[in-house]
Every structure is written in C-alpha cells, then in structure tokens.
Structure 1
Amino acid sequence: MLYTNELEATIDFYVNGLGFTCGEYNEDWGWAALHLGDCEIMLAKPNEHTSFHKPTFTGSFYIKTDSVEVLWERFKDKVNICYGLETFDWGMREFAVYDNNGYVIQFGQQV
C-alpha cells in the first residue's frame, strides 16, 4: 500500500508512465488497486489514522520481471530515472525509477 495525497496523479503515473492497469478505484475510500502482470500495487489517500505529510519510506519496491530490457525501453523516456539499466555482481540486470511521489521502484531480472 502506497500512501499519496495525489491519488489521481499517482494512478495516472502508474497507468500512463509504467503501463499498469487500474483494476479497482473507489473515490469515496480514496483507494485504488493497480496491476502489471502478476504485480499489484495498492494506493490510498492517508486517513485520520495515518500520520502522513510526504513519502518517508526509506527503501524501494522491487519488481522481478522476465523482460527487464523491454520494460527499460518502454519506460526510460517517460519517467524520472533513478539509475539506468545495469547488470550487477549479484546476478541481476535492473534499473530504477522514481514515481510521482518520490517512491523508488526497481525492476530486475536474474541473469
């Protein structure tokens, strides 16, 4: 679950920038579920139980794929890149992007 004050803009980023589909959206709840293959990301506007001013998540979200190069070509000119496509010593070929809230989303494929 990713919290955002900009729910509609975040849905737009994931759908139009990264190719997710919006499977469910409930404006009254301030909630949506987005899908890309087997990956699901839920988005929510913070509520009275959530202290939220801006994203403070200190990690990244890692999405494994069998087509990292295809995704790189699809995304590289549409989104803010954290780091480009690279093969790392730990046996993963990956890249990372920032979403519109500043969350880091990594895409990786085992080599």
Structure 2
Amino acid sequence: METISPNIFTNDMKATIAFYQLLGFTKTMSVPEEGDDLVWVMMNNGSVTMMFQTFESLADDLPEISRKNGGSLLLYINLKNIKAFFNEIQSKVTVLKGLETTFYGATEFSIKDNNGYVLTFAEHE
C-alpha cells in the first residue's frame, strides 16, 4: 500500500469545491473534464488528495452506500503552521473544536465540512 485518498459523497458539488478551495485545495481532475454537471472531482493540497463524488453517480453501481450526509468517519489531516491555517479559516467554517494541545503532544482543531464530515487538522511538533 502506498496512499489513501478518501472519496467523499456530496449532494452539492459546487459548494463542496468552494469549501475545499477555502481550505487551500485545488481541483486537479474531474468528470466530465469541464462544465457545470460534475459528478466526480479530485482535489489536492500538498500531498493530501481528496475525491468528491455525487451520490447519484453511483446509485446503480453501489446502492449499499449510505445516502446521508456526513458519516461515521473523521478525516485526520497533518499539516505545518497549524495556528496560521486556523486563524485564516476559523471565521469561514464551522469550528467544532478550537486549537488545543493533546495529551500526545499534537496541536489540533476540528471543523465540519459542508457535507457534514468532520476534518481534524493536526501538527505534531
């Protein structure tokens, strides 16, 4: 195994792209390649890759996938300069847990994305 790239489901691709652009991600691939009816998008920020897909695009192929927003999942993202990043985005997102130092020495904060998923950002010093 080499990497993991979560594929997050969304009902609103435009809002999802805008939210993750706010976090510094850029769109690198999509289906279709252009247009307003995107069903799948790949976005990157540094070495972190996230994929986003509409629920409808997999309705026939994988009906087992829950059609609810959010999920029993937390995405844990390591980064550098966490305090500057937190200060940059805190007024633009839903902060669930502010900056704090954990018992294992990491500085972390958690937010909720526009689809109900929890993202925890961490810097290990």
* Same fold? TM cut 0.5: yes
Instruction: Judge conservation of contact 1:4–1:54 (CA < 8 Å) in 2.
Output: no
**Larger-Rg structure:** 2
User: For 2:70 and 2:107, how far apart are their aligned partners in 1?
Assistant: 27
The reply on whether 1:9 has 2:2 as its aligned counterpart is no
Amino acid at match of 2:122: G
The reply on whether 1:104 has 2:123 as its aligned counterpart is no
**Which moved further from structure 2: 38-47 or 28-37?**
28-37
**Which moved further from structure 2: 28-37 or 95-104?**
28-37
**Which moved further from structure 2: 85-94 or 28-37?**
28-37
Structure 1 gap segments, 5+ residues each: none
The reply on whether 1:45 has 2:54 as its aligned counterpart is yes
- Could you say what secondary structure the match of 1:9 adopts? helix
Please, what is the CA RMSD of the aligned residues? 1.5
Listed as ranges, the matches of 1:12-91 within 5 Å are 12-15=18-21, 17-27=22-32, 30-46=39-55, 47-48=58-59, 49-50=62-63, 51-91=65-105
**Normalised TM-score (structure 2):** 0.80
User: For 1:37 and 1:45, how far apart are their aligned partners in 2?
Assistant: 24
**Which moved further from structure 2: 45-54 or 73-82?**
45-54
**Normalised TM-score (structure 1):** 0.90
Aligned residues: 110
Structure 2 gap segments, 5+ residues each: 1-6
How far the C-alpha of 1:56 sits from its partner, in A, is 4.7
Instruction: Judge conservation of contact 2:13–2:38 (CA < 8 Å) in 1.
Output: no
In percent, how many aligned pairs have the same letter?
31
How far the C-alpha of 1:74 sits from its partner, in A, is 1.2
**Which moved further from structure 2: 93-102 or 47-56?**
47-56
